Amino acid sequence: MYQAFFNFNAATFAIAPDPHFIFMSEHHQEGMAHLLYGMNQVSDFVALTGEAGTGKIRLCHCLL
Protein backbone atom coordinates (compact mmCIF):
# COMPACT_ATOMS: atom_id res chain seq x y z
CA MET A 1 0.00 0.00 0.00
CA TYR A 2 2.69 2.52 0.94
CA GLN A 3 4.80 1.43 -2.05
CA ALA A 4 2.31 2.80 -4.57
CA PHE A 5 1.69 5.96 -2.54
CA PHE A 6 5.40 6.82 -2.26
CA ASN A 7 6.22 5.35 -5.70
CA PHE A 8 8.76 2.87 -4.29
CA ASN A 9 10.19 0.27 -6.66
CA ALA A 10 10.85 -2.33 -3.94
CA ALA A 11 9.54 -3.42 -0.55
CA THR A 12 11.72 -1.24 1.67
CA PHE A 13 10.19 -2.42 4.96
CA ALA A 14 10.22 -6.19 4.48
CA ILE A 15 10.53 -8.54 7.43
CA ALA A 16 13.91 -9.86 6.28
CA PRO A 17 16.57 -7.14 6.04
CA ASP A 18 17.73 -6.30 2.53
CA PRO A 19 21.46 -5.43 2.26
CA HIS A 20 20.67 -3.06 -0.62
CA PHE A 21 19.02 -0.65 1.82
CA ILE A 22 21.73 -0.46 4.50
CA PHE A 23 23.04 2.90 5.66
CA MET A 24 26.81 2.60 5.93
CA SER A 25 27.85 5.05 8.62
CA GLU A 26 31.50 5.84 9.20
CA HIS A 27 31.63 3.15 11.90
CA HIS A 28 29.98 0.58 9.62
CA GLN A 29 32.46 1.38 6.84
CA GLU A 30 35.35 0.96 9.26
CA GLY A 31 33.95 -2.35 10.50
CA MET A 32 33.49 -3.61 6.95
CA ALA A 33 37.05 -2.60 6.08
CA HIS A 34 38.38 -4.52 9.09
CA LEU A 35 36.32 -7.60 8.19
CA LEU A 36 37.51 -7.54 4.58
CA TYR A 37 41.11 -7.04 5.67
CA GLY A 38 40.88 -9.97 8.07
CA MET A 39 39.37 -12.21 5.42
CA ASN A 40 41.99 -11.28 2.82
CA GLN A 41 44.90 -11.94 5.17
CA VAL A 42 46.11 -15.30 6.37
CA SER A 43 44.03 -14.98 9.51
CA ASP A 44 42.29 -17.84 11.27
CA PHE A 45 39.92 -15.68 13.28
CA VAL A 46 38.09 -12.37 12.83
CA ALA A 47 35.78 -11.00 15.54
CA LEU A 48 33.10 -8.34 15.22
CA THR A 49 31.95 -6.94 18.56
CA GLY A 50 29.62 -4.15 19.63
CA GLU A 51 26.54 -3.20 21.60
CA ALA A 52 23.18 -4.80 20.85
CA GLY A 53 21.40 -3.22 17.91
CA THR A 54 24.45 -1.60 16.31
CA GLY A 55 24.29 -3.56 13.05
CA LYS A 56 26.75 -6.43 13.49
CA ILE A 57 24.50 -9.01 11.85
CA ARG A 58 23.44 -6.59 9.12
CA LEU A 59 27.11 -5.93 8.36
CA CYS A 60 27.75 -9.68 8.10
CA HIS A 61 24.76 -10.07 5.75
CA CYS A 62 26.22 -7.37 3.51
CA LEU A 63 29.58 -9.07 3.58
CA LEU A 64 28.07 -12.32 2.35
| pLDDT for the residue 7 | 85
pTM over 0.85: no
Establish how many alpha carbons lie within 13 A of residue 15's alpha carbon, considering only the half-sphere containing its beta carbon: 0
> Residues 56, 48: contact at Cβ < 8 Å?
yes
Q: What is the pLDDT of residues 3-51, one digit of tens each?
A: 888 888 877 777 777 777 788 899 999 999 988 998 888 778 888 899 9
